[in-house]
Structure 1
């Protein structure tokens, strides 16, 4: 089977890529080993909702049907949205087809792609598998079988865990939402917090997604040094609320610093909790300052919100931090590692990666001709890993593909001349 462009993955990146290639009349096929948007279906916990409002976290060509624009779409609704979108654009998606390997052809252009449904020949490949491919659990978790340990990718709901307390490691959106759900379900919860940004859910009547847009922060092309992998603590649960770690502590969650070691049923933590919370507060206040300055300079009629700068008193777990936790004595029976994901490109046999296995690319265009990457954080800008951001990145890659097709077409025309 031959196609001009083969797209691997039918999540938000693959569907966006297909739309732009279709508009530009580029023959292509999208291969998906499971179903469209499978990670939204089975790779998340039951109560997950999108972290951005429905008016923002979508493609330009279709709104969420039957959902208030300011609401936060449940995960199954998001999955159905991408299914609907794929039908709308008549995307050539083939589900249940796993890509096993892709190799550059020798002596001729393009790639040979082996799949569970046979062999494909493609002029180029778009890797649209995203950043959430392989759950990462730190090495320190290995060798301790005293409690149940799972990654947040395997967590579904509180009933799945054994009776007892839970240690949640990770202060990004996933870790915070899971910790909050478990505490509301009556569990004793410890939440291990590391570096994070903590934007307001909304401020002066506008969602933080709006603020990042008008302030130009979604279009930042380079992350601040050392901040490339800092998590964002934001949530759309309970109608969308600003994450406040002090409030979570007063709610009943025990905050602890970065998890340092796990050995023989005892966990130790760094004495860095107060510093991480303070830096998160600073990121929060800096966005409020930028928003206030924008309102003033543009004469906007947006209500002031002085209460947004208020702060609860530091809880006991911050003033007298827990540095050592005997899991048995504390009644902790489970650990959830909300520690992120790694990419897995073992199937792609091409000179497209650096010594650490990370893609070498410029705005998604690989150093290996004919290979493209889409859906990765900071691919072209801060918004790249978000639903609407990946749509714009896909347009840039599609334009590059069309340009390359023109060059190849010229070569073919030249060969036909006398």
Structure 2
């Protein structure tokens, strides 16, 4: 692949890169998709064994292909999702080159475009799309020293209960990953503590419709920015067990010990913020607000949907919420493993461009980078709330392809010579 030239280099062949390739191909724009591993590698090896998609198969897909043997209301396994993207890449003829790592991207001097240095040679391109998504660099808060006598892993390294050493487990983080991992460990017979921070928790289904449908008809997927104060609030939702509403009251009542956010550590004792009850109450309020909006939508549109009054029965608050722990001696509690379900940060160290803030996060408008010719795809809230979902990234890719097309048209424009304009004016 020495000294290759193309119009667009797309970095990453996950859901974002494949969507980008489809839209570029439809516009006849020459491009190459580079992937350091395999297509959809994060779905293959960057998730735990039992993971399923958090949205039903009818919703969490690209518009031009359904999931094969997965029923529309069911939740595809991670392997089925990976296979879906591999088949989709073949369907759209995506020019993917796997096993090629991008090591450096620099703007050319004195001529248009960029030089893309890779593990398999150099590529010249007019435009670069960073489609590596948000799950690049696992984040573990600097609370417990690495040399503490504990097995500490990030949720991206968790696979199954049998992988962990004997003993009890603390899971830190109550978004979708943390909740599902904690519940799986509890079902496997482990004693589990779960640190719960601020979160939203929509109903999995309500009055016959999945929450993905409700957020659609209520126009919540199209929100362009999170509400003030909710920029870093996670969503607790799960497709596990056929899809169930996440209920922290129920989790506490069935034996998981809920605690507040982990905040300090000293001599083997982990301290927690006094925010557990408030976080659970906020999640409950979010849940009930969606039920209220759904009921109003049904009445407003005269829909004959089944009643579901039991959905408003939240259950009793377990003792771990009403009388929460402020600290925990990890050794005395028999905790041998901490699973940090605390998210990811981005890593664009390979992209040398003037389009990042002081924390290395992209400066962009709907994926259009601050530096001309650089684009991003797959970011949370890139253009809307749904941007980080499979279907959302497809629509964002369509927009980016349009923007590249616009820039190509400007670059191709040849101005009329000044003397020709003068002659035309006097004719």
TM-score by length of 2: 0.96
CA distance in 2: counterparts of 1:116 and 1:94, whole angstroms: 11
CA deviations over 1:337-358 (Å, ceiling 9, x no partner): 0000000000000101122221
Q: Which residue of 2 aligns with 1:9?
A: 12
Structure 1 residue 114 corresponds to structure 2 residue 117 = yes
Partner of 1:186, secondary structure, is: coil
Matches within 5 A, 1:121-132: 121-132=124-135
Partner of 1:393, secondary structure, is: helix
Structure label with greater radius of gyration = 2
Structure 1 residue 251 corresponds to structure 2 residue 254 = yes
CA 1:413/1:190 → structure 2, altered by over 3 Å: closer, same or farther? Answer: farther
Answer whether contact 1:150 1:336 (CA < 8 A) is retained. yes
Find the partner of 1:73 among 76, 81, 84.
Answer: 76
Q: Which residue of 2 aligns with 1:207?
A: 210
CA distance in 1: counterparts of 2:127 and 2:219, whole angstroms: 33
Find the partner of 1:137 among 137, 140, 147.
Answer: 140
Find the partner of 1:300 among 292, 296, 303.
Answer: 303
CA distance in 1: counterparts of 2:223 and 2:9, whole angstroms: 30
Shift of 1:311: 1.7
CA distance in 2: counterparts of 1:102 and 1:176, whole angstroms: 38
Find the partner of 1:291 among 290, 294, 300.
Answer: 294
Gaps of 5+ in 2: 422-427
Structure 1 residue 351 corresponds to structure 2 residue 354 = yes
Partner of 2:104, secondary structure, is: strand
CA distance in 2: counterparts of 1:196 and 1:146, whole angstroms: 30
Q: Which residue of 2 aligns with 1:195?
A: 198
CA distance in 2: counterparts of 1:161 and 1:413, whole angstroms: 70
Find the partner of 2:90 among 87, 91, 94.
Answer: 87
* Count of paired positions: 417
CA distance in 2: counterparts of 1:83 and 1:391, whole angstroms: 15
CA 1:261/1:414 → structure 2, altered by over 3 Å: closer, same or farther? Answer: farther
Partner of 2:152, secondary structure, is: strand
Shift of 1:144: 4.4
Partner of 1:162, secondary structure, is: coil
Shift of 1:261: 1.2
CA deviations over 1:381-404 (Å, ceiling 9, x no partner): 000000000000000110111111
Shift of 1:38: 0.3
Partner of 1:150, secondary structure, is: strand
Shift of 1:413: 8.6
Worse-matched range after superposition: 402-411 or 151-160: 402-411
CA distance in 1: counterparts of 2:164 and 2:43, whole angstroms: 21
CA distance in 1: counterparts of 2:137 and 2:144, whole angstroms: 16
Shift of 1:239: 0.1
Matches within 5 A, 1:30-179: 30-179=33-182
Q: Which residue of 1 aligns with 2:382?
A: 379
Q: Runs ≥4 in structure 1, deviation > 6 angstroms?
A: 412-415
Shift of 1:262: 2.3
Partner of 1:252, secondary structure, is: coil
Answer whether contact 1:144 1:265 (CA < 8 A) is retained. no
Q: Which residue of 2 aligns with 1:408?
A: 411
Q: Which residue of 1 aligns with 2:325?
A: 322
CA distance in 2: counterparts of 1:109 and 1:413, whole angstroms: 21
Shift of 1:312: 1.2
Shift of 1:414: 7.2
Q: Which residue of 2 aligns with 1:275?
A: 278
Gaps of 5+ in 1: none
Q: CA RMSD in A?
A: 1.3
CA deviations over 1:137-189 (Å, ceiling 9, x no partner): 00112244211000000000000101010000000000000000000000000
CA distance in 1: counterparts of 2:417 and 2:406, whole angstroms: 17
Partner of 1:348, secondary structure, is: coil
CA distance in 2: counterparts of 1:105 and 1:86, whole angstroms: 30
CA deviations over 1:300-353 (Å, ceiling 9, x no partner): 110111000002111010111111111111111100000000000000001011
CA 1:407/1:327 → structure 2, altered by over 3 Å: closer, same or farther? Answer: same
TM-score by length of 1: 0.98
Q: Which residue of 1 aligns with 2:231?
A: 228
Partner of 2:59, secondary structure, is: coil
